[in-house]
Structure 1
């Protein structure tokens, strides 16, 4: 059944809540509890792939991670719930969308320099493109540093090359030698983008470095390691995260990430349309 929304420039909060639950962007989501708990364990063990470029405090135990995921994402609080699908509280999603919209609206008002990037190019790109287009229309500068920068990763198929590319409207993502865009948790691409803004792109082995704040973006809108690296660098950062991506929520708890919107980041792209309209309307950009 098609969703019905008001004609006021975007769905109301109640209308969007119903849509989020119906499409499983929030509410009962398709992310398995066992996958969530596995990622929580790996973050607690400080596996870099699950830290998203954030230098988090060493006090993040599995229990503390579950606590923050209950508070900021709305996963099931029962520590004995080990198998089955997990949950995202749609009220928390809506609250965070409003906060994100407020920060994006401020960026438009100030005509800030903005960088946008996604580790989920197959699903979340249209949200970022719509926001970038709206911000550019208000005089913001959409930054596109380090285009073509490459590094190597290890996969189950061996060593592969990834490069930074930009979708139309200026949204950064990773592309492989196969010409396809790829999912990533990595922080190295954002670190390279920030370094490129001061004319000193690092090699992968060099990692992060002190960067000149005057050359940085005023705002990063991102997810996964793109968001983590920006927040770790001290840039105002807002972004999206699934219930199996605890690092950004922990980063928000530590004050390194400004806003994290909890949602299932793997549903069909068109389902995010009402969410995008709500976000832009909140930002005053619809």
Structure 2
């Protein structure tokens, strides 16, 4: 596989323009009404919207809304109920740089790393690039609990899902497809297997959705990505359970994330 070209790394200004142009940040396609609904459901303690995190403080809807204005850059107008919402591209890049520093530290130490995504239709290429470059620099990219399965609740009812690794990245699979998931159960199964077998414990988890929430809840150093309709990881970051959360639209066409990936690799000192 061809190594990343350092010349392809965008400047901060170029990346900002790209994020806005591709709707990864700026005026995003996530409906405002969907955001507000998810904030209310997280505040109400609905497990699906908490990503496996157990919060130490009470999060009201108003608290969640204020947090998402601060950390994600959603529209602060409380009378805005319908239409699209926003993600501040500068907050995206700031968090991306902080994530890069943390990943760079892991690479320098040749840490044990676990990568997982609940959004394989969008973010998987970002994780694949990180897994490849971390392994090339001596990190052990672990793949525990491969094949572990459970009955997941879906819009069609219960369906069997299992953990599959794609070039070192954990995803949820079933019926010949890779699936979106908020569930914390797969990450919990991974950590349970590692504990039971007394094998290598991850020094860093790079993940999203319930994969990240469950890892952070278990005390594993974790960084991740989250959309503006997924407030749980930002609340986890505010409580110190998640190290860094990068706000972005997590399901645009996969190739749109290439400049972001290059920027992250460069900030992690994995290229250049």
TM-score normalised over the length of structure 1: 0.91
| Number of positions where the alignment pairs a residue of Structure 1 with one of Structure 2 | 267
CA distance in 2, matches of 1:245, 1:255: 17
1:68 corresponding residue in structure 2: 67
CA distance in 1, matches of 2:161, 2:229: 24
Q: What SS does structure 2 have at the residue aligned with 1:199? A: helix
Runs of 4+ in 1 over 6 A off after TM superposition: none
2:217 corresponding residue in structure 1: 232
Q: What SS does structure 2 have at the residue aligned with 1:11? A: coil
1:18 corresponding residue in structure 2: 17
CA distance in 2, matches of 1:55, 1:87: 27
Q: Retained in 1: the 8 A contact 2:6–2:266? A: no
CA distance in 1, matches of 2:156, 2:185: 21
CA distance in 1, matches of 2:13, 2:170: 32
Q: Retained in 1: the 8 A contact 2:120–2:179? A: yes
1:135 corresponding residue in structure 2: 134
Q: What SS does structure 1 have at the residue aligned with 2:196? A: coil
Q: What SS does structure 1 have at the residue aligned with 2:113? A: strand
What's the Cα RMSD here?
A: 1.4
CA distance in 1, matches of 2:57, 2:196: 33
Quote how far apart the aligned CAs of 1:80 are: 1.4
CA distance in 2, matches of 1:138, 1:121: 24
CA distance in 2, matches of 1:274, 1:126: 11
Q: 2:250 aligns with which of 259, 265, 278?
A: 265
Q: Retained in 2: the 8 A contact 1:76–1:86? A: yes
1:253 corresponding residue in structure 2: 238
Q: Retained in 2: the 8 A contact 1:108–1:139? A: yes
1:222 corresponding residue in structure 2: 207
Q: Retained in 2: the 8 A contact 1:9–1:281? A: no
Within a 5 Å distance, the mapping from 1:150-189 to structure 2 comes to: 150-168=149-167, 170-176=168-174, 178-189=175-186
Q: Retained in 2: the 8 A contact 1:32–1:85? A: yes
- Which ranges in structure 1 are unaligned for 5 or more consecutive residues? 1-5, 201-211
